[in-house]
Structure 1
């Protein structure tokens, strides 16, 4: 008669599933090896429990039948337990915080980095609800709201000068892993970059203004042999000036964390955008406006004008002569959407995800010929982020593009509310 240990047959499958989850977790936090180690760490608790609660009675039964089987089983159990303890010890020294939560969100285990980055206390916080031990309201709100997306650049609990990124991942049977990484050095580097760009832009503004002013004083008719050169110098100095202005705008937007709740009157704004498009087009395109929605929004009129104007000017620049451009403002079930649709060149799908990066260009030569700075869509993204809105891009090569700014219902201002706001102002 032979004895079969069912749990040992399930172990390879469980470990393989853990590897898959670990790879996904590691990819999310940009540390695949850390992800694998973390998942293996989480399996420690389950496997040790399995060994403790299931192995003993089974081993007793096995021993009654055959001592050799019992010895082999004991040796294997000790080896697995030793390996898991070693892995748990190694995971405990990881620089990233790791917290294992059960299905009721109670803390089952955490490593030493969790004490440093999340403020957890050993052993007092073991077994407690995570919301009760997190000493940071932003983190607690993020978890309460479902933690669907990673939380980046949040202040570490009790450490105002330290910044972390946090991810919450499902694991096993209704368990979860909370991962936190110290991003303070990245935050400092980003601040250095912002300061550098802002300072350089300010320093460049004055000399460029002087150069452009002197170029405007030159009359090509007085120096016909240099007429082409003067025109090109004027064009490039004007373009450099626009780049500087866009960089300063980006620097300002990046340092803002909110916008004033002013009434943005959409009807006159849309009319202005149409006039700007027609002036830039100079009759080369058919520009139409579809704005049957009589609703305004709350936000910054100046910044939203800048964002919408960038989308309109891009449509004009990248649509061939004879093409059509449609500016639309409409209500949606969840808010309202401003969109610009063109019949231009279109954008390959591989480029769409990177369009809002600074200076990113689908076609360098086409962008230079159009006169763009490469910063417009980055400005659009930052403006929308400040308004809790998002940019959606739909495009197909040869079929044109649609850029949509989607605003939530909390930003809408119906006529009655607008009247009350006007009376208060």
Structure 2
């Protein structure tokens, strides 16, 4: 009884102070949560900056090495040409890195306006795979006409095919039917918890296995497909491979999709 009376007196006499104390506790909880979030973001930024630095530093070092050798050594023309080809390959790689960073920035800031035209998607795929010079690509294409931004759809296809070839040593299949475009591989597969994450910018399943995509390829694909009123779907089983696909019915309208 005494305890109840004391608590009643405290609540009446110190209600303002008690409320202030609760407010301080709540502010402290929010601050701790924000600090934790900030710490995670800082760690993520450090990892991204480190990855970008690594991807730029590696080809630059290779280029410098070949240039120094050419300048300081009396190399035969055949060897010089070989070194120049290596330099060209790495400058192209640097250019692609910059292009990807620039493209994802424009897409995220909604500064990229699609330029729609009508074209045959099956012919675009056939033309595109010639640039890969790969015998592992199997095609199963239904003649299909779509209305879309041809250059952006080519980027989507290039990223999906490159991704499949990178993670699979076996044959990959590209299917195009009346409803879907599918890129199927028999590679490493993806853990269920990572399937949605891999569409996020800079996300890499193997944290220390950075390559010239910087984890931007699928993020770019997702942004471009959203501009075309569709989205990327992923089905995968660890150790058995993956299927990346999207619905093309929204691209088969006779009129250009409204933005």
Same fold (TM over 0.5): yes
Q: How does 1:267-282 map to 2 (within 5 A)?
A: 267-279=122-134
Q: Deviations over 1:315-345 (max 9, x none)?
A: 111112xx0100111113xxxx211100111
User: Please, what TM-score do these two structures have when normalized by structure 2?
Assistant: 0.62
Partner of 2:193: 350
Partner of 1:361: 204
Partner of 1:287: 137
Deviation of the 1:301 alpha carbon: 0.4
Matched pairs, number: 190
Corresponding residue SS for 1:347: coil
Q: How does 1:2-401 map to 2 (within 5 A)?
A: 219=70, 222=73, 238-254=92-108, 255-256=110-111, 258-279=113-134, 286-292=136-142, 294-320=143-169, 323-332=170-179, 337-368=180-211, 371-401=212-242
Q: Which structure has more RCO (C-alpha within 8 Å, separation ≥ 6)?
A: 2
Distance in 2 between the 1:349 and 1:222 partners?
53
| Contact kept? 1:388, 1:408, Cα under 8 Å | no
Corresponding residue SS for 2:133: helix
Distance in 2 between the 1:367 and 1:223 partners?
36
Deviation of the 1:352 alpha carbon: 0.8
**Cα 1:302–1:395, aligned 2, differ >3 Å: closer, same or farther?**
same
Larger Rg: 1 or 2?
1
Distance in 1 between the 2:111 and 2:176 partners?
26
Q: CA RMSD in A?
A: 3.7
- Unpaired stretches in structure 2, ≥5 consecutive residues: 1-51, 76-83
Deviation of the 1:366 alpha carbon: 4.0
Distance in 2 between the 1:404 and 1:347 partners?
15
Deviation of the 1:220 alpha carbon: 9.6
Q: Deviations over 1:72-103 (max 9, x none)?
A: xxxxxxxxxxxxxxxxxxxxxxxxxxxxxxxx
Corresponding residue SS for 1:398: coil
Deviation of the 1:213 alpha carbon: 9.1
Distance in 1 between the 2:253 and 2:74 partners?
57
Q: 1:412 aligned to 248, 252, 255, which one?
A: 252
Corresponding residue SS for 2:177: strand
Partner of 1:80: none
User: Please, what TM-score do these two structures have when normalized by structure 1?
Assistant: 0.39
| Contact kept? 1:288, 1:326, Cα under 8 Å | yes
| Contact kept? 2:172, 2:185, Cα under 8 Å | yes
Query: Larger strand proportion, structure 1 or 2?
Result: 1
Deviation of the 1:300 alpha carbon: 0.5
Deviation of the 1:278 alpha carbon: 3.1
- Unpaired stretches in structure 1, ≥5 consecutive residues: 1-200, 225-229, 280-284, 415-420
